[in-house]
Amino acid sequence: MPRLRILNSRTLYNGRVVALKVDEIVEPSGIRATRELVVHPGSVVVIPRLADERIVLVRQYRYAVRQSLWELVAGGLDGRETVLAAARRELLEETGYRSRRMRRLLSFYPSPGFLTEHMHLVEARDLTLGNATPEEDERIEVGRFSESELRRMMSSGRICDGKTLVGLLWMFQDRAPAPKLRG
């Protein structure tokens, strides 16, 4: 069976969060191509559920789209940190909540055409509120929303962040079993 061959790989930029690479490859199908990659270590996305079933979202300014967005709690994986450890850390940092019960739901690639990031969706329950500890460059507003409010926000375009849409649509589905996790 033919395999991917990397003929040449150049790192053009190596930053704090991502790296930018240009690779010359031969795909398993035999196609020779040049591919630009944004290399990212992966991230977690958390659905924090309160006892009354409301969902906690955070709102912060996103420079790339030049606006503030309502989003699920999310953040990058740090080093050898597990998915659940990262989810606990991000939940506490961004909202001040701690969770006594966390469950991995599914994993997905947000934009596999050029981005290596692998996102892991986690549900957090049995929440207790403490003090948030956002990073120095984060200004975060915390909101708590019912399912009907979230559905209205989605249909009106007030929620337009991809990872948040994936998480909420998963939550709203008919509770079919989540697909098997890989990686």
Specify whether 101 is located in the same domain as 86.
Answer: yes
Phi, psi (5° rounding) for residue 15?
Answer: -105, -170
Residue 129 makes CB contacts below 8 A (sequence gap 6+) with 96, 97
| Residue 147, pLDDT score | 93
Specify whether 25 is located in the same domain as 50.
Answer: no
Find the range with the poorest average confidence among 18-22, 62-66, 88-92, 139-143: 139-143
Does residue 116 lie within any of the structural domains?
yes
Specify whether 86 is located in the same domain as 152.
Answer: yes
In angstroms, the CA 70 to CA 96 distance is 17
Specify whether 22 is located in the same domain as 98.
Answer: no
Percent of the chain scoring above 70 in pLDDT = 93
List pLDDT tens digits, range 49-65. Answer: 999 999 999 999 999 99
Report the domain count for the chain.
2
What does the H/E/C string look like for 70-109? EECEEEECCCCCCHHHHHHHHHHHHHCEEEEEEEEEEEEC
Specify whether 125 is located in the same domain as 110.
Answer: yes
Specify whether 83 is located in the same domain as 107.
Answer: yes
Range of the domain at 71: 43-172
Does residue 179 lie within any of the structural domains?
no
